[in-house]
Amino acid sequence: MAGEGQNAVGRVALVWDERAAGYDLGPGHPLAPVRVELTVDLIRRIGLLGNGVDEVLPRVLDEVELLRHHREDFIDTVKRLSWDPTARAEERYGLGPGDTPAFEGMHPASLLICAASVEAARQVWEGEADHAFNPAGGLHHAMPDRAAGFCIYNDPAIAIDWLLEHGAERIAYVDVDVHHGDGVELMFADDPRVLTISLHESGRFLFPGTGRADDIGGPKAPGSAANVPLHPGTPGSVWLGAFDAVVEPLIRAFDADVLVTQLGCDTHASDPLAHLALTTDDMAAIYERLHRLAHETTDGRWVALGGGGYQLVRVVPRAWTLAFAEMVGRRVPVETPMGWREVAVERTGDVPPTAFLEDPVQLSEAMRAQAEHEARASVTALRELLLPLHGVR
């Protein structure tokens, strides 16, 4: 459970604009904006705002900020289909039937999410907040020249770029989504100022099929990427063991100015699109580790973004409320508020859990053994290939 007073916390910002719900890929699409709306509603209802914890609107983002990491022809295509999503599909740009369909208003909606992530970065870098969270962000699969995996523009990369352009010298990016953070890694693979770390279900079993343990960065910046692929069925104890063995020493050795995290919660055992076996208790333990590392390695500068998570009512709001409670140093109540549960049912028809935390997932001995074996193999590979490049023995 999120610890109260564990770290000295000053101001914390929740960066949110109701218009971000306009990032809507259509009826029945897994990335439904209601999951973020219910998260913000839950944060409000349990009293995490106030006393130095504020909701902040994003500032307008100049489109030039986008062009630094997305090709102009791709942005022009997004704009055109934004006005007429029924036009001919542009599958070479990743926009069409399937994962990332075009939708009306997608350019301004995507730009707003990028603006919110940049605002979170600005809040932290300019000292207006110690920590900042954009729950609508974390669209980590978008590529320079195409949309991918529900992601049109890559807001984590744009926020990292903003930090570098405004004086940050080193950024540590940690991605705990069940899917490999491929777009962010690709955009900074040859930049030694950015260390991208991704713990994810192995690409042998899950989109996007990348993120092997021997993928350790580009030729101009070997060691700039760390990947920890995990086997289906991996429980929280094994996931956290891999984090402790690899991520913590890497972050300490890298000595970044800012910690940027993507907090996808599709690692949950019940997520319909993936196969790991974490619980909300495990996620609370992840957030505690990230919070502690921010205070111990980056003077508390922590920018957090949302990401994946497709149990729209049962998992996402609880997980990200736990993350925000950790950021503000407060405990969540034992039960979710009745008024919030009623709104969730009214909005979706799905009945949310009454409790924030959960019992561990029961796994067979064979499945646990396989998960432990794969995690050990990933950790061993990183200890041999990557950690020495950062002076970690």
What is residue 5's predicted lDDT score, i.e. its pLDDT?
A: 41
Residue closest to 139 by CA, chosen among 159, 123, 168:
159
- Residue 3 has a pLDDT of 42
Q: Which residues contact 58 (CB under 8 A, 6 or more apart)?
A: 15, 17, 112, 115, 116, 118, 119, 134
Kindly indicate the confidence band of residue 65, based on its pLDDT and cuts at 50, 70 and 90. confident
200: pLDDT strictly greater than 70: yes
Q: Indicate which residue of 141, 180, 231, 268 is catalytic.
A: 141
For residue 171 the two structure tokens come to 């950024």
pLDDT in tens, 68-126: 999 999 999 999 999 998 887 788 999 988 899 999 999 999 999 999 999 999 999 99
DSSP β-ladder status, 131-134 and 53-56: unpaired
- The answer to whether residue 54 scores a pLDDT higher than 60 is yes
Average pLDDT over residues 334-357: 97
What mean pLDDT, rounded, does the chain reach? 95
pLDDT number for residue 9: 61
Over residues 132-148, the mean pLDDT reads 98
Paired with 201 in beta bridges are 230
Helices 72-83 and 106-125: crossing angle in degrees, nearest 10, is 130
What confidence tens digit (pLDDT) does each residue in 12-37 have? 999 999 999 999 999 999 999 999 99
**What's the pLDDT band for 4 if we cut at 50, 70, 90?**
very low
* Bridging pattern class, strands 12-15 and 131-134: parallel
Quick one: tokens of 107?
């350019």
Give Dmax (Cα) for the chain.
55
pLDDT value at 57 more than 90: yes
The domains located in the chain, with CATH, are 12-390 (3.40.800.20)
Kindly list the distances between the CA atom of residue 322 and the CA atoms of 3, 100, 166, 316, in Å, as whole numbers in the listed order: 10, 29, 30, 10
User: Percentage of the chain surpassing pLDDT 70?
Assistant: 98
Q: Does the annotation mark 141 as catalytic?
A: yes
Which position has the token pair 């791709």? 74
Q: Are 259 and 300 in contact (CB under 8 A)?
A: no
Model pTM score: 0.96
Indicate if the pLDDT at residue 322 is higher than 60. Answer: yes
Q: Which position has the higher pLDDT, 1 or 309?
A: 309
